[in-house]
Amino acid sequence: MNKTEKTGAILTADRDWWRGAVIYQIYPRSFQDTNGDGIGDLKGITARLPHVAALGADAIWISPFFTSPMRDFGYDVSNYTDVDPIFGTLRDFDALIAEAHRLGLRVMIDLVLSHTSDQHPWFVESRSSRSNAKADWYVWADSKPDGTPPNNWLSIFGGSAWAWDPTRLQYYLHNFLTSQPDLNLHNPEVQDALLAVERFWLERGVDGFRLDTINFYFHDRELRDNPALAPERRNASTAPAVNPYNYQEHIYDKNRPENLDFLKRFRAVMDEFPAIAAVGEVGDSQRGLEIAGEYTSGGDKVQMCYAFEFLAPDPLTPERVAEVISDFKKVAPEGWACWAFANHDVVRHVSRWGSGVADHAGHAKLLASLLMSLRGSVCIYQGEELALPEAELAYEDLQDPYGIQFWPDFKGRDGCRTPMVWESLPDGGFSSAKPWLPIPADHLPQAVAIQEGDPASVLEHYRRFLHFRKAHPSLAKGDIEFVETRSPLLGFIRIHGNERLFCLFNMGEEPASADLPDGAVEPLDGHGFISDIKDSKINLPAWGAFFARLA
């Protein structure tokens, strides 16, 4: 009996469902609270799934809900096969799966395989001595003769990537918080244990995985120092500009070639089940697209990856979009990307790219349509469909250790993690208790209940455009060819089967025009934009777009 039969799901076993899929990311702490503790939970996700289904998404990705001390809010796992009590129970998760499938939504969960919490029983045993059964399950190393760390590797959260353990009299590796020790995937037993975790959730009915920090799984066995990175090559997409992490070229602490064989093992387990897919997060500022191509090539590793090109602070221009998409096609001719403009780790994109923009809603609609027209699959982050801006929080309200470490030059990730606003009430319809992060007053007028049913709203535009995308397979699965345009215009053609779809975007605050493509042009509606054609010219208003079927 296969998974869909076991859960009573209505989903078809389409192994290619992920190609061009729109995946809605849910940050469980901030989606919906049902038990009055100010923290979102699994029952809350289940109750709000109709919103995601009405939006038109194909799947949900749920950030970690596993047992955890929550020092990094679930990305520090202490039990991979249970639900943290603040989120509910395994029974609640089973109910979530059943309801999602009933609504036609697939469920992807966030697996954090590069590291665990220091409270995980594996690490507790590993640090107890140098001779226990799990002594080699984490990355341990002796100090240099002078007692300093084994090499120059740095943590993304600041400082050395090595922490001293007084019991073993050795250092252990942590690419993130000191309470997040890195697993040693060079050990086959560790790989087997992680594949058992994968199998546990597949047997429970999940449809796939988002793989956190997928390029961090392996380290250099020789622990060689990373070389310095020239200042002109530094990029603040993986870590904020104030973090010296950006001063190194990370060729030895991540991005190791051994990862390819492990990903093949991971894929082999997925392939034992019908219609399973994975998307990997590639955190690397220099080689992100290239690595994403390696990890998605050949049909024997993960299906999709996303790098940080569109999550970085760099301005979004027509030239930048064309460059990123074209570069990915060059380095990954067999690969498949999953693009996102926002997630739980970066400043919300309408704020990141919209400083000074007068037409907030128009800008948000244009960005949404552009994202959902690019070649690749798409991730949408909760609240994005409402055009929620980044929240400005006081220092005393911060929860994120990353922000607390680098405040005020880097304010952390709390500003994009504030609770979802369902209603225009002080609590946003999120919780009957004080929420774990404050809800900004300027978010309340953009609540779901306010925007729903208003054809001019950003929410209804997302719904409309997702329907438009489903009606035109070239937008989801087609190839892409860029056409010559002048900034602020961006134009390309999406091609799938007999359909050739011309897409033109005005990425500026002033009207702009372009020549009609040669040959027969059939303008399309249903996407929410109004344009004018006169004298073989397409005239677009600020933040406008035009779509047409070509002969």
Q: Where are the domains of the chain?
A: 3-115+188-469, 479-550
Higher model confidence: residue 406 or residue 202? 202
Res. 52 pLDDT band, cuts 50 70 90 = very high
Q: Is the pLDDT of residue 414 over 90?
A: yes
> How high does pLDDT run on average in the chain?
95
Residues 6 or more apart whose CB falls under 8 angstroms from that of 384 comprise 341, 342, 348, 349, 368
Backbone dihedral region for residue 223 (phi beyond 0: left; psi -120 to 50: alpha; all else: beta): left
C-alpha 474/C-alpha 257 separation (Å) is 34
Query: Percentage of the chain with pLDDT > 70?
Result: 98
C-alpha 185/C-alpha 150 separation (Å) is 19
Burial class (CB in 10 A: 0-12, 13-18, 19+), 315: exposed
Strands (E), 271-389: 277-281, 304-306, 338-340, 377-381
Q: Are 450 and 442 in contact (CB under 8 A)?
A: no
Placement of tokens 């946003």 in the chain: 428
Q: What is the mean pLDDT of residues 262-287?
A: 96
Residues 6 or more apart whose CB falls under 8 angstroms from that of 510 comprise 488, 542
Burial class (CB in 10 A: 0-12, 13-18, 19+), 486: exposed
Q: Is the pLDDT of residue 2 over 50?
A: no
C-alpha 327/C-alpha 342 separation (Å) is 21
Res. 7 pLDDT band, cuts 50 70 90 = very low
Domain 3-115+188-469 has CATH 3.30.750.24: no
Which ranges of 341-487 would DSSP assign to H, the alpha helix? Answer: 349-352, 360-371, 401-406, 448-451, 458-471, 473-477
Q: What is the pLDDT of residues 60-80, one digit of tens each?
A: 999 999 999 999 999 999 999
Higher model confidence: residue 463 or residue 233? 463
Q: What is the pLDDT of residues 349-380, one digit of tens each?
A: 999 999 999 999 999 999 999 999 999 999 99
- Active site residue: 76, 212, 294, 390, which one? 212
Q: What is the mean pLDDT of residues 79-91?
A: 98
Is 212 marked active-site? Answer: yes
Q: Is the pLDDT of residue 9 over 70?
A: no
Res. 250 pLDDT band, cuts 50 70 90 = very high
Q: Identify which of 447, 441, 432 has the alpha carbon closest to the alpha carbon of residue 33.
A: 432
Q: Is the pLDDT of residue 3 over 70?
A: no
What is the sign, positive or negative, of the torsion defined by CA atoms of 315, 318, 324, 327? Answer: negative
C-alpha 85/C-alpha 78 separation (Å) is 13
Q: What is the mean pLDDT of residues 57-61?
A: 98
Q: Are 424 and 450 in contact (CB under 8 A)?
A: yes
Q: Is the pLDDT of residue 10 over 80?
A: no
Q: What is the pLDDT of residues 129-173, one digit of tens each?
A: 999 999 999 999 999 999 999 999 999 999 999 999 999 999 999
CATH of the domain spanning 479-550: 2.60.40.1180
Burial class (CB in 10 A: 0-12, 13-18, 19+), 462: buried
C-alpha 64/C-alpha 83 separation (Å) is 9
Residue 164 vs residues 122, 167, 168: alpha-carbon distances, Å? 18, 9, 9
- Active site residue: 272, 300, 319, 323, which one? 272
Per-residue confidence (pLDDT) for residue 1, from 0 to 100: 29
Per-residue confidence (pLDDT) for residue 4, from 0 to 100: 40
Placement of tokens 């019991």 in the chain: 167
Per-residue confidence (pLDDT) for residue 451, from 0 to 100: 98
Per-residue confidence (pLDDT) for residue 238, from 0 to 100: 79
Q: Is the pLDDT of residue 322 over 60?
A: yes
Q: Is the pLDDT of residue 8 over 60?
A: no
Q: Is the pLDDT of residue 236 over 50?
A: yes
Q: Are 190 and 137 in contact (CB under 8 A)?
A: yes
Q: Is the pLDDT of residue 527 over 80?
A: yes
C-alpha 276/C-alpha 9 separation (Å) is 14
Q: What is the mean pLDDT of residues 419-433?
A: 97
